[in-house]
Amino acid sequence: MRRNVLLLFVCAALLLTASPAFAGLFGDKFEDEAVKEEGAVKLVREVQEGGYGVVTAEELKAWIDSGKKMVIVDTMPYEASYKKNHIPGAVAFEFPIPTMETWDTAKTAGKTEADYEALLGPDKDVPIVVYCGFVKCTRSHNGAIWAQKLGYTNVIRQPGGIFAWKGKGYPVESED
């Protein structure tokens, strides 16, 4: 009897791990890793192209807690995202998802380069931290690139955005 139960268990395990239909129930670690790799390489290439730094949600939280002087920019749409929740102290300036090669006010909620520069302030060396929703979102990439084009020298992207911030359990602010 024991042998039959053991044999039945082994057969069930083989079926579950070998069958693509059943493998999907437990996820595919290889496909998951391929997706992670694709996202990681995309992020690295954006950072290389942009020439800016990166910071984790945890590091940014430590900077905020220490009182570090910086400008934090939420690049998500104001009504749909920023107004509902944003990193404490962040200011809103919407950027589009695809790379914005030339300034387009239709893609920045009607705001100009001069508006962005006024928001960032006159100190070109102050840390400018930009974020959006999550790693695959490239609004923060646009915000970082344009801060550099305007002459800011200490531009940093927090790629995990508000999702990573909330995933760490950190507090958010809202306008509601």
Query: pLDDT digit string (tens) for 88-141?
Result: 999 999 999 989 999 999 999 999 999 999 999 999 999 999 999 988 888 999
How far from 176 is each of 89, 129, 164, CA to CA, in Å?
Answer: 15, 24, 21
What residues does each domain of the chain span? 51-167
What pLDDT is recorded for position 26?
57
Q: What is the largest distance, in Å, between two alpha-carbon atoms of the chain? A: 81
Query: pLDDT digit string (tens) for 11-65?
Result: 444 444 444 444 455 568 888 888 889 988 988 999 998 899 999 999 999 999 9
| pTM recorded for the entire structure | 0.81
Residue 12, classified by CB atoms within 10 Å of its CB into exposed (0-12), middle (13-18) or buried (19+), is exposed
- Distance between CA atoms of residues 71 and 130, nearest Å: 8
The domain defined by 51-167 folds into: Oxidized Rhodanese; domain 1 (3.40.250)
